Chains A and B, each alone.
Chain A
């Protein structure tokens, strides 16, 4: 089972050196324990472009799909046996990056 752990923040790329070091330690732990799938930081929503090509005529819109004060500033995709394991890892991730995080299961296996 895979879970998306979104990092919630009102700015991006704002990690302090201490936070970045803690994130590195956490990432190493994810790898060592077999939970690591993928992770990344995101640049700010103002750099986003929304594309709608449902009718074959791609329409580009500048900016994010949803405007909000807080948004996804980064993420992990982790592999975990169940939600208890995912919540425990996400709690450690939240501590490491010093931000709120949200856990959502990915569909299917």
Chain B
């Protein structure tokens, strides 16, 4: 096996097995910190050994076994330091939990990471680290905070889970609805991290993360088929995922919606997404955020040609969304649709009003750059592209923005 193939095998094992290793170790040792550290050590050992010893036939089992040994080593080390702790740590009196309605180790891990006693930003960070296997710098970058602050946030969360004894289980049926909405918010963020992956060495789209988010959302939908937001989120993810291959060119450049080869969209995913959106419309219940976003994506994916897009429908849906959530990012996306309906000058006025809150967000500058370009204000457009390129973390997006900037007259 070549060096490249071994490296690919390690990357694949990391994408596929990380969450499973952390989940099964957390279950066995009752401690997220031990599980995370041991999982990280096991992967480091794989990086060391696999190139010379070869990739084991079952990488997942190898990693779990190696990580378990590392965990036991750590517990023994700590036990030597403190005999009393030894008793507490070696004999985990974890009573066998009754199996929840969903029997998936990783979901257990997700519900713990998304526990309501943790702050929302902490839940996201913890889920990306423990379930997604992202590194602390990657997570810090995704949320525009310093690495040290992010590391501290995760450390504090693990300490709270342990000290307050946040349970490691899927909640009982009566608690599920409230707990699920917190999980959906986190899964959507994980999906987005996969959809617009950050890092100069990272693939622009991390299909593993989008696929994992979709897989877990499907599972939750199986459990709660009548929850409109679960269905809405799944539809949104499917309609977004359907465009995945059309969204990045062969040369690794982002292809915006209006330039995509619509024939390359995944027709099966589009059809499934549309079916789910229709199901929610038929339910006649006021939609939440995911259902509105899914409906917007359904409008886009219904147009065989970008010129057939029903922009008034898109703007009407964004109006509905803004009433639900007056956040500046939604106002920014609404402005993109307004540009098509009312012209770039009207959209630019709306976008300029968001500067105070969005000046650190690359999409704000990218949107401005595009509007200024369409208005023939090349110099200002160039400056906005520069700023957007400086802030963008996704390689495909940077490539696209750079080309657009260089095409300015």
Interface residues of A (CB under 8 A from B): 1, 3, 81-84, 86-87, 103-105, 107
Interface residues of B (CB under 8 A from A): 115-117, 163-167, 171, 175
Contact A84 B171 (CB under 8 A): yes
Report the bound CA distance from A38 to B117 in whole Å. Answer: 24
Given the known interface contacts A83-B117, A87-B117, the answer about A105 and B163 at a Cβ–Cβ threshold of 8 Å is yes
Contact A83 B171 (CB under 8 A): no
A-side contacts of B167, CB under 8 Å: 81-84
Contact A105 B117 (CB under 8 A): no
In the complex, the number of residue pairs spanning A and B with C-beta atoms less than 8 Å apart equals: 26
Report the bound CA distance from A39 to B314 in whole Å. Answer: 57
A-side contacts of B163, CB under 8 Å: 105, 107
Query: In angstroms, how far is the closest chain B Cβ from the Cβ of A78?
Result: 13
Closest-by-CB residue of B relative to A108 is: B88
A-side contacts of B175, CB under 8 Å: 84
Contact B117 A82 (CB under 8 A): no
B-side contacts of A105, CB under 8 Å: 163-165
User: Which residue among B116, B164, B167 has the maximum number of chain A CB atoms within 10 Å of its CB?
Assistant: B164
B-side contacts of A81, CB under 8 Å: 165, 167
Report the bound CA distance from A104 to B166 in whole Å. Answer: 12
Query: In angstroms, how far is the closest chain A Cβ from the Cβ of B122?
Result: 15
Closest-by-CB residue of B relative to A80 is: B165
Partner pick for B166 among A3, A83, A107, CB 8 A cutoff: A83
Report the bound CA distance from A1 to B165 in whole Å. Answer: 8
Report the bound CA distance from A105 to B162 in whole Å. Answer: 10
Closest-by-CB residue of A relative to B163 is: A105
12 contacts between A and B (CB under 8 A): A1-B165, A3-B164, A81-B165, A81-B167, A82-B166, A83-B117, A83-B164, A84-B166, A84-B167, A104-B164, A105-B163, A107-B163
